[in-house]
Amino acid sequence: MFIEQDYTQYTAAQHRIWSDLYERRMLDLCEQGCRAYLDGAQKICLPGNRMPELAELNSYLTPLTGWQVRAVPGYIPARDFFSCLAVRQFPSTITIRNAEQFNYLPEPDIFHDVFGHVPMHAHDEFGDFLQRLGEAGRMATSEAEIRHLQNLFWFTIEFGLIQEEGHTKLYGSGLVSSPGEGRHALTNAVEKRPFKLEEVIETDFEIDHFQPLLYVIDGFDQLVSAADAFIDGLRHNRDTFAKAS
């Protein structure tokens, strides 16, 4: 499942695409991004002028929270993905979009995976939450449990908002890595609701347009508590099924 990142294969054009994406996005994130993301980007020395080297990022990230980034060739099965998260390994693609796809890419690339996700892994509570989602992913078996987990992942890891010093900020990778969606998420066109686990897991989403509804947390400890409650619910389901059998 894992592959090696041959850093020597990246071209000057690819380094330039990363640099241009980084510069454009960071200009907005200085105002839009949450403190945990901005601090995390500094702590892992996320490069702005060249493609990231995963081994280099891990040399900063792993001593902080135990997380590491692992290169994969593309999409991996959901259960494998969550199994990786459960042991603090984050699968990342290592290809980058071309110039024609600069503003939009339908599938994740290294800019979404590394720029969007990885700085948050330097935050203790967020890292704990992500690991717990991995554990939940290994436990979920029924269609309802899997749907609930997907909804929780979507409205936090991918499209989460946080209230910070009186302002709504971005922390979800889909918002952090996308100029259009990131700006849109902070406008009045998006309904913003306080994060409630019971509501979030029952809220389905669509992927082919900007999100009309997002959830706002007060702090990352709220996510850790939510993940624990979700796992407790899965265990309760197992116990109930076992007794019924």
User: Averaged in consecutive runs of 10 residues, what is the pLDDT profile of the chain (245 residues)?
Assistant: 95 96 95 98 98 98 98 92 97 89 73 97 98 96 94 97 97 93 95 98 92 97 98 84 57
For residue 34, what are the CA distances in angstroms to 27, 63, 152?
A: 13, 22, 19
pLDDT, position 194: 98
CB 96 within 8 A of CB 109: yes
236 is catalytic: no
Give the residue from 127, 25, 29 showing the smallest Cα distance to 69.
Answer: 127
**pLDDT given at position 25:** 95
pLDDT at 207: 86
Which pLDDT value is given to residue 73?
93
Cross-strand bridge partners of residue 164 = 167
Q: Which of 135, 145, 158, 164 is catalytic?
A: 158
Whether 177 is catalytic:
yes
Tell me the β-bridge partners of 162. Answer: 169, 217
Q: Whole-angstrom Cα distance, residue 88 to residue 79?
A: 14
pLDDT of residue 99: 73
Is 117 an annotated catalytic residue? yes
| Distance, CA of 212 to CA of 3 (rounded, Å) | 37
Residue with tokens 């020597």: 8
Domain boundaries defined on the chain: 7-244
DSSP H helices in 71-194:
78-86, 110, 124-139, 143-153, 173-176, 179-185
Nearest to 157 by CA among 179, 130, 139, 181: 130
Tell me how far apart the terminal alpha carbons of the chain are, to the nearest angstrom: 36
Tokens of 62: 């792993």
For residue 174, is it left (φ>0), alpha (ψ between -120 and 50) or beta?
A: alpha
Angle at 228 between CA 223 and CA 233, to 5 degrees: 125
pTM of the model: 0.94
Tell me, what amino acid is at 85? L
Task: Considering the candidates 164, 177, 178, 181, report the single residue annotated as catalytic.
Answer: 177
Smallest CA-to-CA distance from 92 within 186, 3, 211 is with 3
pLDDT in the model for residue 1 = 87
From the candidates 117, 121, 123, 148, give the one annotated as an active-site residue.
117
**Domain over 7-244 is classified CATH 1.10.800.10:** yes
158 in active site: yes
Distance CA 216, CA 51 (A): 32
User: In whole angstroms, what is the distance from residue 133 CA to residue 150 CA?
Assistant: 10
Which of 112, 121, 123, 148 is an active site residue?
A: 112
